[in-house]
Chains A and B, each alone.
Chain A
Amino acid sequence: MVLKDVLSTNRGKAFMLCNEAIARGAIEADVKVVAFYPGAPTSEILDTFSEALGSFDYQMQIATNEKVALEICAGASFAGFRSLTAMKSVGMNVASDTLFVLGYTGVRGGMVVVMADDPHAHSSQSEQDGRFFAPNSYIPMLEPSTAQEAKDMVKEAFSISERHRVPVIVRTVTRVNHQSGVVELEEIRRSGFARAKWRDLKEAYLTLGEIARRKKLMMIERRGRLEEEFEGSGFNFILGETAGAGTGIVTSSVSYLYVLEALKELGLAGKVPVLKLGATYPVPKRLVSRFLKGLESVIVVEELSPYLENEVTIIAKEESPEVRIIGKRSGHFSEAWELNPDLVAKGIASAMGMAYDDKSRISEEAKALREGIPERYPTFCPGCPHRGTFVALNQALRALSAGGKGYYFANDIGCYSMWVFPPISKADSSLCMGASVGIANGLSNVVEERVLAVVGDSTFYHAALPAVLNAIHNKNRFTLLVLDNSVTAMTGQQPNPSTEFTAGWREGRRVPIEDVCRAAGADFVEVIDAYQVKENVPVLRRALEHDGLAIVVSRRECALYGDRRKRRRGEKITPFYVDKSVCRRPYACIRDVYCPAHEIDEEGQPRISPDLCDGCSVCSRGCAFGSIKRAESWGEKR
């Protein structure tokens, strides 16, 4: 990220990642409070705010989970401050308990919730379609296609929120968040921060029983007013002429860009009218109805579920029942996986009865050329503490199996999720944040085998803690391994309660996991150093055999975070090397450790790439011949 583009208070243009543009838009809109829990593909929004903190007068918290983040923003908004949070699709599942109520209570200061879905599950456990949160909670929703539009929509969302006293969802998808483009910067004029006086603002943000029933009627009315406003929104527009066109397209989000690309490729640019919807809840019925008038068929192009297709079908039934609707139900597009320009061109061509070369020949040829190339699965970075923990854990589990006592391995969400990929491929389940501990609470009482649950530090605070307390209270018996690498590593090493820093590298208070567990009454709590492989095996074995809840915290900071801190302190990384004169090639360094820095050279000798090695020492600790040595003598430091 080039921070000065976000910080420049002047007008101009910048080439920006959409997530940076979202942050810039909120800063231009004078946002006063931001709070996040990181999650791909939104993490760079958090990172941008964290980097820019100190340059502007907003407050920022990196929250323990998305629900807390949303509540921080709601609190600020109740007191009249503009607030913004951003979360990934599945983060909204956690936050939605509060979101639904905010639909009832309403807010005061403009409140924007960026929710990023992940069609194709690039970096998520599911392809869930979050658009349905909007109608279900009666909360309006905008959907940008580009970085520029995302910035414009975030700014407008604050105004919509204040006009209608309701949070506004800005819903993105991975291909929007991780899209860069040229963005127009407007002036930044900040109003300064001063505490509000609640006694002057005082009003009730509550709902229950009779109050909820009354507020429900208000929500329905509000939806009508929002729909009326969106009829004239500049975010909804028609490209081209519907009269005499025969076929038209309704689309939104990144699919709009694929439609433009496909129409160009098919030679249909300007010939097929396109209704681009940017405000997608409530859907402006009159606008859609006007678009449908006179068309013979309409193609709805959207990713995942037929959300717009449903809306268009309902509107058509009342206003233009003769129009043919083409989309998911007609089989032209799939509900599975993300779209791309080729799939959209294929669907449009097929709907319009045009010949189309679907490029399968090119894909087949490419596939033949890829034959036999090695997969590059997501893996642990060189120096990753999870590698060291795994080496010891694997030995302890082998001993358990050798004793005839199998185990159940409940994995979770974090870098350690990658244990499910080859060559390790070790996990019986992996669901969502913190679920491993909940699952262990259930399974440990119904199977014969020992149950092992794994969570990270960030996951521990995020969602596992209630399940840990449940285990202590109910005297459930399983092993909990907490991989504490000091940061929320997978999303880019953001701080969490295990970190001594918080947003903007400001000082934070560490909440040691072992203290939390002991204070709650857990009697088997051990802390190990992830790199101390040999010493950790007996601890893990005891934990796996303990008749009760056994908690082991494996601690060592994330290698990337550690490297960054070393650079700040001016420390060098000293890689390891294989002393060929000592190595007898048992290959334990490779077989047990699976590090990207390890290779086999032409003579079949293990070799450590000095450019990749992080100097963690884990492989050297497993070598029976002591042939892996620190390259102190060569001075090969980075």
Chain B
Amino acid sequence: MGREAMSFDIFICGVGGQGLVLLTNVLGRACLKSGLKAITGEMYGLSQRSGSVSVHMRIGGDAYSPLIPTGGADALVALEAIEALRHIEFLKKGGLALVNKRVIHPPVETAQLIRDRNRKYFGLDEVVSRIRKWTERVAVIDAFGIAREAGNPNVENAVFLGCLSALKGLPLDPDKVKESIAEAVPKGTVEQNLKAFEAGMAKASEALCRHGVCRG
């Protein structure tokens, strides 16, 4: 089977309001521009904001199912850190984990903290050390910081488009991803999104190049 036929599967997760749907749409457009088949399975959850949301994104000719089989994703993109652990079983053992540094504590967790004052939040360090038991190839990205620096805290999703584009396994030309961003995001925010994209690409390369998974 040729390389073209093998699918590249990305499991994307986060919290309602972080722009997963737009991220997915950009990748899908880039696939279209590249003549690649793409199929997704999108789960929006019950709440519009602050609930758990996820997308199975599959690129390539032999991707049939909208759902990635257990342990089948080449990359896990977590726009919120705890969500990475919640969905870790979709990631291949040793697969690529691109994880936002941002932890959004659900109200139920904060409520537990005031009931039991000795209790601590489930923090980023614990998340990352557990992910490392699944894979060594982890990039922790300060997407929120990058997005703010780019002038718009809502462009965390574009940071991760940049991260994904740093990977040589992603069968998409980064320029095609950028073109798709320009088409899909609200008019006034193209520049901020592209800035976030470039910074994300650089950060992921920095974090992952020693594993030999980056472009160029």
Contacts and interface: CB of A to CB of B under 8 A. Distances in A.
A367 B109 CA distance: 19
A81 to B, nearest CB: 33
30 contacts: A2-B184, A15-B31, A17-B42, A123-B45, A175-B41, A179-B40, A180-B28, A258-B64, A342-B70, A359-B70, A369-B130, A373-B122, A374-B109, A376-B15, A378-B47, A381-B50, A415-B48, A418-B47, A422-B108, A423-B108, A490-B46, A492-B48, A560-B49, A590-B114, A596-B106, A600-B110, A611-B144, A611-B153, A612-B50, A638-B153
A595 B65 contact: no
Nearest to A491: B48
A587 B48 contact: no
Contact of A379 (B37, B107, B112): B107
Nearest to B51: A378
Given A180-B40, A362-B71, A490 B48 contact: yes
A250 to B, nearest CB: 17
A560 B83 CA distance: 23
A192 interface: no
B133 A369 contact: yes
- Among B32, B45, B113, B117, max chain A CB count under 10 A is at B32
Interface string B89-110: 1000100000000001111111
B56 to A, nearest CB: 9
B39 A181 contact: yes
Given A178-B44, A182-B38, A369 B28 contact: no
Nearest to B106: A376
Contacts of A40: 44
Contact of B89 (A178, A362, A374, A381): A362
B85 interface: yes
A595 B44 contact: no
Contact of B49 (A254, A382, A598): A382
Interface stretch (A51-59, A260-268, A549-557): A260-268
B66 interface: yes
Contacts of A417: 46
B82 interface: yes
B42 to A, nearest CB: 4
B114 A587 contact: yes
Interface range for A = 35 or more
Given A181-B38, A366-B89, A372-B122, A598 B110 contact: yes
Nearest to A489: B48
Given A378-B46, A380-B47, A369 B134 contact: yes
A13 B32 contact: yes
B188 to A, nearest CB: 11
B108 A366 contact: no
A599 interface: yes
B69 interface: yes
Contacts of A15: 25, 28-29, 31-32, 38
A376 B16 CA distance: 11
B70 A363 contact: yes
A175 B44 CA distance: 11
A182 B111 contact: no
Given A369-B130, A380-B47, A423 B107 contact: yes
A541 to B, nearest CB: 25
B85 A370 contact: yes
A374 B133 CA distance: 19
B183 interface: yes
A588 to B, nearest CB: 10
B32 A258 contact: no
Nearest to A375: B108
B62 to A, nearest CB: 6
A478 interface: no
Contacts of B213: none
Contacts of B67: 175, 258, 340-341
A359 B69 CA distance: 10
